[in-house]
Amino acid sequence: MEQKLRKSFQGIGNIIRFNWHFYLIAFLMIIGLQLISKYINVDFQVSITVLCIIILGIISLSLLVSFYVYDISDLYTLKWVNKKEREDVIVNISAGFDETSHLLKDKFPSSKFIALDFYDPKKHTEVSIKRARKAYPPSKQTVKIETDYIPLNTGEVDVLFVILSAHEIRNKTEQVQFFKELYRVSAPKSKIYVTEHLRDLPNFLAYTIGFFHFYSKKSWSGVFLKANFKLIKEVKITPFISTFILQKNGTTP
C-alpha cells in the first residue's frame, strides 16, 4: 500500500497556522467597521457592509485557492516530475520551510539525495517562516548554504529542485548569482525544476496585493537567461503555479 506522505488539509492548515495574524487583523477590521456603522449615517452603513463583504470575500477566495493548490492539486504528488530523469544525485533547495524533500526521496529511492536550505534569519524576517521552522524544524541532514555558494562539486548534480523558494531571494543581483551557482553544480544534461507562483492575473485575482510577493514570468526568464539556462518547458501545475524546467545552455556564464 502506498504511504500517504501528506495529511488532509495540511496545506491550508499550515497557511492559517503560520499567517494567523493577517486573518485576525482582517476579522478585527470587520468587527470594528460593523461597530462604527451603528453610530454613523444610515447612507454610509450600506457602504461599510459592502466593504466588509469584500474583505470577507477576498479572504475566503484566497483560502479556497490555497486549499486547491496545496491540498488537492498535483503540486505535492510530483506527477509533473519526469521519473525517467537520470537520478544519481538529486538536490532539493528550500528557504526555511521544506515540505518536499521527503516526497522527492520517496519518488527517487535509489538516488543520493541532498537537501539544502539558504534561509537566513537576517534576510528572511517574515514571521510566517519563523513559525514554520519552529513547527517543522529542518532535518539534521539538511545543509545550510548561502545563495552565492553551494558546497557541491562542479557538475555534480543530475536533477535539482527549487520548489516555492527562489522568490524569497528579493535582490535581483542575488537571484542571478544564485542561479549561476545552480548552473555550476549541475551536470551538462541535468534538469532544474523551478516551481513558483507568478505575478500574473490568476494570482492577483486569488491573492490581490499579495501577488506582489511573487515575480512575473518575464522577470524569471531574465534571471534564467543571465545565468545561461535555457527554458525547456513550462508546466502549469494549476493556473496559479508554474514549474520552469531548465537546462544548461552550454557555456559557463
Model pLDDT, residue 43: 75
- Domain membership of residue 80 (yes or no) is no
Query: The domain spanning residue 142 has which CATH number?
Result: 3.40.50.150
At 67-87, the pLDDT tens digits run 999 999 999 999 999 776 567
Residue 84 located in a structural domain: no
210 and 96 fall within a common domain: yes
Q: Is residue 78 part of a domain?
A: no
Residue 3: per-residue pLDDT = 43
What rounded mean pLDDT belongs to the chain? 91
Q: What order do you get walking across the sheet with 143-144 strand by strand?
A: 143-144, 112-117, 89-94, 157-163, 186-196, 241-248, 229-238
Do 46 and 131 share a structural domain? no
Check residue 252 and give its pLDDT.
Answer: 54
172 shares a domain with 50: no
- What is the rounded average pLDDT of the residues 100-114? 93
Residue 79 lies in a domain: no
Same domain, 102 and 15: no
| Residue 82 forms part of a structural domain | no
Query: Which pLDDT score, from 0 to 100, does residue 42 have?
Result: 74
Find residue 90's DSSP bridge partners: 113, 159
Cβ within 8 Å of residue 213, ≥6 positions away: 167
Joined together, the cell numbers standing for residue 198 give 507568478
**Which comes out higher in pLDDT, residue 47 or 246?**
246
pLDDT in tens, 19-68: 999 999 999 999 999 898 888 877 788 889 899 999 999 999 999 999 99
pLDDT-derived band at 251 (thresholds 50, 70, 90) equals low
* Average pLDDT score over residue span 215-233: 97
Q: Which residues of 25-45 are buried (b: 16+ CB within 10 A; e: fewer)?
A: eeeeebeebeeebeeeeeeeb
Domain with 93 in it? 89-248
Residues 28 and 146 in one domain: no
Q: Report how far residue 224's alpha carbon sits from residue 145's, in angstroms, rounded to the nearest whole number.
A: 20
The tally of domains found in the chain comes to: 2
Arithmetic mean of pLDDT, 180-204: 96
Domain identity same for 50 and 163: no
Residues 106 and 33 placed together within one structural domain of the fold: no
pLDDT bucket at 244, cuts 50 / 70 / 90: very high
Mark whether 19 and 118 lie in a shared domain: no
Same domain assignment for residues 190 and 126: yes
Do residues 55 and 17 both lie within one domain? yes
Give the residue, 42 or 171, on which the prediction is more confident: 171
Whether the full predicted model's pTM is greater than 0.85, yes or no, is yes
Q: Is the pLDDT of residue 116 over 70?
A: yes
Please check whether residues 111 and 193 belong to one and the same domain: yes
- Residue 204 located in a structural domain: yes
Question: What pLDDT was estimated at residue 40?
Answer: 82
Greater confidence (113 vs 133) lies with 113
> Cell match 545552480: residue?
182
Same domain, 59 and 162: no
